[in-house]
Amino acid sequence: MELQLELKSQSGARRLLPSPAKLMVNTLMLLFTASCIIPLLWIGYSSLKTQAEFANNILSLPGAPQFGNYLEAIKITNMLQLSWNSTRVTLLSVIGITAISFVTGYITARLDFKGKKAMIFYYLFGMLVPIHALLVPIYLLFKNFGLADEWYTLIIPYIAFNLSLPIMLVSSYVVGIPREIEEAAAIDGLSFSGTMFRIIFPIAVPVLTTVAILQFFSCWNEFSFALVLLKDESLRTVPLGMSYFKSQHSTNYPQLMAGMVLSMLPVTLIYFTFSSRIIAGVMSGAVKG
């Protein structure tokens, strides 16, 4: 009896101990997490240092916190104007992406038509094309058609280049919705568009919320198109505003990092507020697909 108890306790201890493979995976994930968090912490406390403290030792903690760096960052960049520009462009882009991805995703999930596979491949191919390879032709196209340096300039490429993933998410989500719901709506006399917007749209709200939040992050943080297509300073977005801290001979890094912290605040607050909904929406789309 004692031998059996000893064997059971040993087997239980073995189960409690992680296997070498799990230990290696957990270690790698811990290192990856640290590599993401440590730079953010460094930016946070470096934004409270004086320029002399930062130049003397970039890793040391600040002596007396310099919260004035944030006030200077707001003044130098005209942060309110930058934030308004980014908010306007981002919200309109997110609305356009969400609406188009819902309609397109529903159609690809429910209808069979000639060229459907080609259209799906076209959207999937859009995920493989590097944006930076298209900056020059897009700049020339916008310049020739008079679309550059307008308040709506960035909305066009933001919508066009952010449709692939949302369409795939919506399509995989809609596939998992029972067709009987739409058949019952058709029997009741509801049209195709009525079924799509009055029946399917409320059901697809979780995945559409995920799409909207993810695309908010993408559009708010976008830099390349804003740099190439906008020359008017009054139209610049928050990421472009970080260039105001760089002069010809020096850069005020603590003020730059204060500006970076301010630019990250909206997306950080949104992420921590809706993180569970983002994960739930992605997972529900994956499971239903």
* pLDDT single digits (tens) 204-248: 988 898 899 889 999 999 999 999 999 888 899 999 888 777 765
How many CB atoms lie under 10 A from the CB of residue 227? 15
Domain-embedded: residue 250? yes
Q: For the CA atoms of 90, 91, 92, 98, what is the dihedral angle to 10 degrees?
A: 100
Beta bridge partners of 251: 246
Q: Name, in order, each residue with C-beta under 8 angstroms of 106's C-beta and a sequence gap of 6 or more.
A: 170, 171, 174, 196, 200, 204
Q: How many domains does the chain have?
A: 1
- In this structure, is the dihedral angle defined by the CA atoms of residues 233, 224, 88 and 276, taken in order, positive or negative? negative
Q: Rounded mean pLDDT of the chain?
A: 85
> CA 13, 19, 22, 27 torsion: positive or negative?
positive
Specify whether the CB–CB gap between 177 and 200 falls below 8 A: yes
**266 belongs to a structural domain:** yes
Residue 195 within a domain: yes
Is residue 54 domain-resident?
no
- Residue 7 is predicted with a pLDDT of 46
116 domain residue, yes or no? yes
Residue 91 has pLDDT above 90, yes or no: yes
Q: Phi and psi of 246, rounded to 5°?
A: -100, 120
Residues spanned by the domain of 275: 72-288
Q: Is residue 221 part of a domain?
A: yes
Taken in order 74, 78, 80, 82, is the CA torsion positive or negative? negative
* Contact call for residues 160 and 147 (beta carbons, < 8 A): no
How many helices (H) and strands (E) the chain has is answered by: 16, 0
Is 52 inside a domain boundary? Answer: no
Beta strands (DSSP E) in 79-144 are none
164 CB-contact burial (10 Å; exposed 0-12 / middle 13-18 / buried 19+)? middle
pLDDT reported for residue 5: 47
Q: Shortest CA distance to 285 belongs to which of 161, 195, 175?
A: 175
Output the pLDDT for position 283.
Answer: 64
Does 119 reside within a domain? Answer: yes
Tokens representing 230 are: 């906008």
CATH number at residue 263: 1.10.3720.10
Q: Are 271 and 257 in contact (CB under 8 A)?
A: no
* 45-75 confidence digits (pLDDT tens): 999 999 889 989 888 888 888 899 999 989 8
* Pair 76, 265: CB distance under 8 Å: no
